[in-house]
Amino acid sequence: MKYVTAGESHGPEEVAIIEGIPAGLEITPADINFELARRQHGYGRGNRQLIETDTVTIMAGIRHQMTLGSPIALNVHNDDHNNWHDIMDPTKKATPENTLRKVVRPRPGHADLVGGIKYRHHDLRNVLERSSARETVMRVAVGAVAKKMLKELGIDVHGFVLSVGTAKGDINEITKYHSLADLRTVTEGLPTRALTVENDEAIRKVIDETKRNRDTVGGMVQVLATGVPAGLGSYVSADKKLDAKIARAIVGINAFKAVDFGNAFDNATLYGSQIMDEILWDEEQGFYRSSNHLGGFEGGMTTGGMLMIRGVVKPIPTLYQPMRSVDIDTHEEHKASIERSDTTAVTAAAVIAEHMVAIELAKAILDKFDADNMDRLKEQIAAYRQEVKTF
């Protein structure tokens, strides 16, 4: 399975094409719109989310709500494009009027300056339109298809906010669970529960204070995946390691600067005896572990335990009290430009991370098994699960 996205933040459309999804998977626009709505939520976002109602249009690859095995094409309209029609018109040449909102004072921490140097863009809007996290709407759309497929194979993926700034979320206790049954108990009622940041007083307070200070704040998210069979990915070559692919997928999300498995950042100071997951066996389960400190990976392969992936999201680069920058036309010192912006986007980031993990898991499954047809895929996975259990 592979996918590509296209789209500028204030351009007409966001687009994705996915190739390699098996035939016979039921997909409705509602499945995708549900996830798109989750990405739009989150206390601390700017006014853009009030303009958009992200809604998918299925352009190809699905007939009568069933995938055909052919490439799937998805679109999401940028409602804000109406306000940027002339500025972002793909068909008209540049004029003094339609380049009025030229950006020449790059924002530290955003892609503006380096993107401009690299592509010889002297209007940094040509950079920010694509480097914007608006594009993640399509990664979530693709991930929604992946999640639907995984769900049918008995695999669940959930993303949560662990903290925003110094405030820890009230769902932090989830990290100590390591079995599917445990997870199901605590995640009952998701995705509403995953969005409890909206009601978490400590987190709201941090965001309110940050906004009052005209500053921005980041945080930490976690993605858990249950029902994942042992043996996805491989130790045989570096580029086959699934934890490495997931790390890439997470750090590939705008503003993610760190990723770990289990609680690896904390584990840096512990002893081996405190973090290896002892191997046990019984008739009913086959091999299982006494704990899940390593987050469900050994040798780049899934162990059969719950996957536990954390990501650190840096604070939003655009500041309403801007930092020093330099005008790229005059080379004079100036405050960085201000674009409409979020105070924080950690809730959205958790949803995006969840979908990126789903995409990587779907790819790993489709690499390992015959991916032409959903029913055949289910049969193979059931047989494989049985083989693992009786090893």
Ligand X SMILES: Cc1cc2nc3c(=O)[nH]c(=O)nc-3n(C[C@H](O)[C@H](O)[C@H](O)COP(=O)(O)O)c2cc1C
Tell me how far apart the alpha carbons of residues 74 and 60 are, in angstroms, rounded to a whole number. 7
Tell me how far apart the alpha carbons of residues 177 and 135 are, in angstroms, rounded to a whole number. 33
- Answer yes or no: are the C-beta atoms of 296 and 302 closer than 8 Å: yes
Residue with tokens 């335990």: 305
Residues in contact with ligand X by CB under 6 A are: 46, 109-111, 131-133, 136, 253-255, 314, 316-318, 341-342, 345, 348-349, 352
> What does each C-alpha distance from 25 to 16, 63, 97, 280 come to in angstroms?
18, 10, 48, 36
DSSP H or E run through 17: strand 13-19
Which range in 65-73, 264-272, 278-286, 335-343 contacts ligand EPS by CB under 6 A?
335-343
Q: Using CB under 6 A, which of 17, 76, 113, 133 touches ligand EPS?
A: 133
Q: Using CB under 6 A, which of 132, 163, 210, 292 touches ligand EPS?
A: 132
125/178 with CB nearer ligand EPS: 125
Which range in 209-217, 285-293, 302-310, 337-345 contacts ligand EPS by CB under 6 A?
337-345
Tell me how far apart the alpha carbons of residues 354 and 129 are, in angstroms, rounded to a whole number. 24
2/257 with CB nearer ligand EPS: 257
Tell me how far apart the alpha carbons of residues 136 and 36 are, in angstroms, rounded to a whole number. 10
46 contributes a contact to ligand EPS by CB under 6 A: yes
Tell me how far apart the alpha carbons of residues 303 and 126 are, in angstroms, rounded to a whole number. 44
Out of ligand X, ligand EPS, none, what residue 175 binds, judged by CB under 5 to 8 A for its kind, is none
260/342 with CB nearer ligand EPS: 342
Q: Using CB under 6 A, which of 126, 163, 175, 341 touches ligand EPS?
A: 341
- Answer yes or no: are the C-beta atoms of 14 and 75 closer than 8 Å: yes
254 contributes a contact to ligand EPS by CB under 6 A: yes
> What does each C-alpha distance from 2 to 25, 142, 331 come to in angstroms?
17, 10, 42
Q: Which residues are annotated as a binding site for FMN?
A: 130-132, 254-255, 299, 314-318, 340
Structure token digits, residue 146: 């992946």
Tell me how far apart the alpha carbons of residues 150 and 1 are, in angstroms, rounded to a whole number. 13
37/59 with CB nearer ligand EPS: 37
133/225 with CB nearer ligand X: 133
222 contributes a contact to ligand EPS by CB under 6 A: no
Closest residue to ligand EPS: CB criterion: 48
137/223 with CB nearer ligand EPS: 137
Q: Using CB under 6 A, which of 9, 187, 303, 347 touches ligand EPS?
A: 9
Structure token digits, residue 297: 């990976």
Q: Using CB under 6 A, which of 339, 376, 385, 388 touches ligand EPS?
A: 339
134 contributes a contact to ligand EPS by CB under 6 A: yes
Structure token digits, residue 148: 């639907």
137 contributes a contact to ligand EPS by CB under 6 A: yes
Q: What is the residue type of 336?
A: A
Which range in 16-24, 128-136, 196-204, 233-241 contacts ligand EPS by CB under 6 A?
128-136
Tell me how far apart the alpha carbons of residues 8 and 255 are, in angstroms, rounded to a whole number. 18
**CB 277, min distance to ligand X, A:** 31
Structure token digits, residue 162: 């662990």
The 3-state DSSP class for residue 80 equals helix
Helix 29-40 crosses helix 346-368 at what angle (to 10 degrees)? 140
205/340 with CB nearer ligand EPS: 340
For binding to ligand EPS (CB under 6 A), which residues are involved?
A: 9, 46, 48, 52, 132-134, 137, 254, 339-342
